[in-house]
Chains A and B, each alone.
Chain A
Amino acid sequence: MENRAIFSGKLLPCLLILPQLAVSLIFFYWPALQALQQSFLVQDAFGLSTEFVWFENYLSLLQTPEYYHAIGVTFVFSALVAFFSLTLGLLLAVMANRNIRGVQIYRTFLIVPYAVAPAVASVLFIFMFQPGLGMIARALQRNGVDWNPVLNGTHAMILVVIVAVWNQISYNFLFFLAGLQAIPKSVIEAAAIDGARPMRRFWTIIFPLLSPTTFFLIIVNITYVFFNTLGIIDTATGGGPNGATQTLVYKVFQDGKVGTDLGGSAAQSVILMVIVVALTAFQFRYVEKKVHY
């Protein structure tokens, strides 16, 4: 906070932040306000009849048991995806940060999954996990696992978690690797000379020094799971079976796009927005205290 750049006058700084402000206003604030407005309306799909209903959309939402179910599903899903994509990303980063032959090749390949669009990633995994046809599904079935994601909610959840984690690992890997490379070698060498074994060096030096990266990634990952996994779920399970993989954002999409209930869908978006803002605020307030910059 101490190293402030000093600009003369107010015009130039204002001009410089203008593009970013414009982007935020047009792509974030404006749609958010529109969602807020829509959430107070009951409207048909074509926008031919509109009725202002105050909080009715919210109230009817809070009376549907499926909505609470979706909240539960979302938290289980986000916890699983965030945990596995962060730990696996970190593990891979630590491995790829060593001096081994061909390390650049490994690093490049580890980044590739991030370039795959979520829906495409889903299709790849469906091919492997389709009961009766998929390679992995058949292997599981041969080994006595009754793999059936079209009917078994737990299996469907495992499937979407695998796709979401696979899709997100690269991102985490990239940031962890950068974080690891920013840790001064001298600190680690000093610990090694003092007799600390690799595991101890990792937990007492590297992991704490990585904490800003970890903190940043936790927030990014949770946002990812809450919003960007829509394509994965839509392609892999369609929210099924029996709502077992219906997350909040998928329900927004279902009710708004498929069910053309724009008011109810907008009300859900607004609640979702509040949840994510609250989660992020909570993390900044409490978790950030444990971060060493």
Chain B
Amino acid sequence: MAFRQFGAAAAVAATLALATPAHAVTEIQWWHAMTGPNNDVVVKLANDFNASQSDYKIVPTFKGSYADTLNAGIAAFRAGNAPGIMQVFEVGTATMMAAKGAVKPVFELMKQQGETFDPKSYLPAITGYYSTSKGDMLSFPFNSSSMVMWVNLDALKKADIATPPKTWPEVFAAAKKLHATSPTCGFSSAWGSWGLIEQFSAWHNVPIGSKANGLDGFDTVLEFNTPLETKLLENIVELQKDKSYDYSGRTNTGEGRFTSGECPMFMTSSAFYPNVKANAKFSYTAIPMPYFPDVTGAPQNSIIGGASLWVMSGKSPEEYKGIAKFFTFLSDTDRQANLHQVSGYLPITKAAYEKTKAEGFYEKNPILEVPLKELTNKPPTENSRGLRFGGMVQLRDVFAEEIEAALAGKKSAKEALDTAVSRGNAMLRQFERTAVK
């Protein structure tokens, strides 16, 4: 870590030494966690912005995984040299928000710098996740996705399933049928906690935790161990016994099981799209997440995943000016629409969504509209605006551990969820103590 910082510092020093100061250019460090094609998108955005004006220079630096980037930022802040902009994944939101004094809220920055900024022009399902309960935007949404069900249409046909399943009971029935043709995995999912607990609760308009899932305060208490969540987990545990459902790990490392054709139904992020497009050798589609039809109001709306850009505190006024201009640059309708169509991540402004729609893009690429339809299905409620739990990164591991215990038959579904809630609450209380009041 120290070495990496030294490397970054040396690189900055070198560029500073080389730059001829005919005209003072303000450099802004942007730490991110994007790999592959998405890394190219980041670099291109920075280059385009740098070319569009001559006062500021955005310098993007890849810092490893999402967790690595967050840790690098925290370490840099403690050492007194945080970057100007830091990309933080959605579950790190509470950690960043609690660090008053370490971050500069985006709404405040835009106001101070006099940039035109209308919070209402952004999609509420996305910005809600990154805003205070009063609606003030704290960080700038960058890459957003949601959870969808990927379906291998050829396999469904082979198993004699006419239409892709819409509800959970239909999914369970389809998984059992698929067992005959796909004996090792009828149905599977990635991101266990995100899909089976977080999205599931929002989609059924039930709380994950009190205080609007923690959005209204750090004194939130987890409460997802209700009969509804238990019913889902019990069913999945039952299917796991003969591999009609087969667990694929805590993160998305098991996604290859869909593209290889092993698992014909796979619930994971909509950002899986470029990978499916490149690798699936069968006809496929993505459909909205399933729901229990006997729950009134279901489906509600889904919540986002992905990451946002946080502005760190203690920077010079010039840097802040540059960052504000960069955010205005990013919000541009054409740029957002293009970004969405190229990367598969969701557009963050309403205008960009409308523009893409008007261009007829979704008729050719209906899959890309599925997560947007899920997110905007109904106006978000207290239970579906988002979630904000301190230490969520590790909470997810705890939830996943308990789901694993239930799937392995070590605990009943009810016991597993009860333990997940009690362990999670203990961690939330610890976090609440350290949060800056």
Knowing A257-B71, A258-B67, A259-B427 touch, does A132 contact B185 (C-beta < 8 A)?
yes
What is the CB-to-nearest-CB distance from B242 to chain A, in angstroms, rounded to a whole number? 11
B257 at interface, CB cutoff 8 A: yes
A240 at interface, CB cutoff 8 A: yes
State in angstroms the CA–CA spacing of A132 and B19 once bound together: 53
Evaluate contact between B436 and A49: CB separation under 8 angstroms. yes
State in angstroms the CA–CA spacing of A261 and B432 once bound together: 12
State in angstroms the CA–CA spacing of A56 and B74 once bound together: 24
Evaluate contact between B404 and A240: CB separation under 8 angstroms. yes
8 Å CB contacts to A: which residues of B373-429?
A: 391, 393-394, 397, 400-402, 404-405, 407-408, 410, 423, 426-427
Checking A47, A49, A238, A255 against B250 with a beta-carbon cut-off of 8 angstroms, the contacting residue is: A238
Evaluate contact between B262 and A242: CB separation under 8 angstroms. no
Evaluate contact between B184 and A132: CB separation under 8 angstroms. yes
Evaluate contact between A42 and B433: CB separation under 8 angstroms. yes
B279 at interface, CB cutoff 8 A: no
Evaluate contact between B400 and A240: CB separation under 8 angstroms. yes
A203 at interface, CB cutoff 8 A: no
Knowing A42-B434, A46-B102 touch, does A240 contact B250 (C-beta < 8 A)?
yes
Residues in B whose Cβ lies below 8 Å from that of A46: 74, 77-78, 99, 101-102
Evaluate contact between A238 and B99: CB separation under 8 angstroms. no
Evaluate contact between A151 and B407: CB separation under 8 angstroms. yes
Residues in B whose Cβ lies below 8 Å from that of A150: 247-249, 254, 404
What is the CB-to-nearest-CB distance from A136 to chain B, in angstroms, rounded to a whole number? 16
8 Å CB contacts to A: which residues of B238-290?
A: 240, 247-251, 254, 256-257, 260, 262
Evaluate contact between B430 and A261: CB separation under 8 angstroms. yes
Residues in A whose Cβ lies below 8 Å from that of B254: 150
B81 at interface, CB cutoff 8 A: no
A153 at interface, CB cutoff 8 A: yes
A283 at interface, CB cutoff 8 A: no
B98 at interface, CB cutoff 8 A: yes
B95 at interface, CB cutoff 8 A: yes
Residues in B whose Cβ lies below 8 Å from that of A133: 256-257, 260
Evaluate contact between A238 and B67: CB separation under 8 angstroms. no
Residues in B whose Cβ lies below 8 Å from that of A131: 184
Residues in B whose Cβ lies below 8 Å from that of A255: 394
Evaluate contact between A242 and B410: CB separation under 8 angstroms. yes
Evaluate contact between B247 and A151: CB separation under 8 angstroms. yes
Evaluate contact between B408 and A151: CB separation under 8 angstroms. yes
Instruction: Report, as a range, how many residues of chain B touch the other chain.
Output: 35 or more
Residues in B whose Cβ lies below 8 Å from that of A113: none
Evaluate contact between A242 and B434: CB separation under 8 angstroms. no
8 Å CB contacts to B: which residues of A17-47?
A: 42-47
Evaluate contact between B402 and A47: CB separation under 8 angstroms. no
Q: List the A residue with the shortest CB-CB distance to B393.
A: A258
B435 at interface, CB cutoff 8 A: yes
Residues in B whose Cβ lies below 8 Å from that of A264: 430
Knowing A42-B433, A46-B78, A132-B185 touch, does A242 contact B408 (C-beta < 8 A)?
yes
What is the CB-to-nearest-CB distance from B426 to chain A, in angstroms, rounded to a whole number? 8
Checking B99, B185, B397, B401 against A44 with a beta-carbon cut-off of 8 angstroms, the contacting residue is: B99
Q: List the A residue with the shortest CB-CB distance to B409.
A: A151
A152 at interface, CB cutoff 8 A: yes
State in angstroms the CA–CA spacing of A46 and B102 once bound together: 7
Residues in A whose Cβ lies below 8 Å from that of B405: 241-242
What is the CB-to-nearest-CB distance from A27 to chain B, in angstroms, rounded to a whole number? 12
B83-123 to A contact mask, C-beta < 8 Å, 1/0: 00000000000010011111000000000000000000000
A246-261 to B contact mask, C-beta < 8 Å, 1/0: 0000000011011111
Q: List the A residue with the shortest CB-CB distance to B405.
A: A242
What is the CB-to-nearest-CB distance from A107 to chain B, in angstroms, rounded to a whole number? 33
State in angstroms the CA–CA spacing of A255 and B391 once bound together: 10
Evaluate contact between B95 and A45: CB separation under 8 angstroms. yes
Residues in A whose Cβ lies below 8 Å from that of B402: 242
What is the CB-to-nearest-CB distance from A242 to chain B, in angstroms, rounded to a whole number? 4
A182 at interface, CB cutoff 8 A: no
State in angstroms the CA–CA spacing of A242 and B423 once bound together: 13
State in angstroms the CA–CA spacing of A101 and B78 once bound together: 59
Evaluate contact between B394 and A241: CB separation under 8 angstroms. no
State in angstroms the CA–CA spacing of A67 and B98 once bound together: 27
Knowing A46-B77, A48-B436, A132-B185 touch, does A259 contact B99 (C-beta < 8 A)?
no
Residues in A whose Cβ lies below 8 Å from that of B430: 42, 60, 261, 264
Evaluate contact between A261 and B250: CB separation under 8 angstroms. no
A243 at interface, CB cutoff 8 A: yes
Evaluate contact between A254 and B397: CB separation under 8 angstroms. yes
Evaluate contact between B394 and A44: CB separation under 8 angstroms. no
What is the CB-to-nearest-CB distance from A154 to chain B, in angstroms, rounded to a whole number? 10
Q: List the B residue with the shortest CB-CB distance to A152.
A: B408
Q: What are the 5 tightest A-B residue pairs by CB atom distance, in nearest-first order?
A: A259-B394, A44-B434, A241-B404, A242-B405, A242-B404
A49-B435, A132-B257, A260-B74 provided; 16 other pairs, C-beta below 8 A? Answer: A45-B74, A46-B74, A46-B101, A48-B101, A48-B102, A49-B434, A51-B433, A60-B430, A64-B426, A66-B423, A132-B260, A133-B257, A241-B404, A241-B405, A257-B67, A258-B394
Residues of B within 8 A of A (CB): 67, 71, 74, 77-78, 95, 98-102, 184-185, 240, 247-251, 254, 256-257, 260, 262, 391, 393-394, 397, 400-402, 404-405, 407-408, 410, 423, 426-427, 430, 433-436
Interface CB pairs A-B, < 8 A, 22: A42-B430, A42-B433, A42-B434, A44-B434, A45-B95, A45-B99, A46-B77, A46-B102, A48-B102, A51-B433, A132-B257, A132-B260, A133-B256, A150-B247, A151-B407, A240-B400, A241-B401, A241-B405, A241-B408, A242-B408, A257-B67, A259-B393
Residues of A within 8 A of B (CB): 42-49, 51, 60, 64, 66, 131-133, 141, 150-153, 238-243, 254-255, 257-261, 264
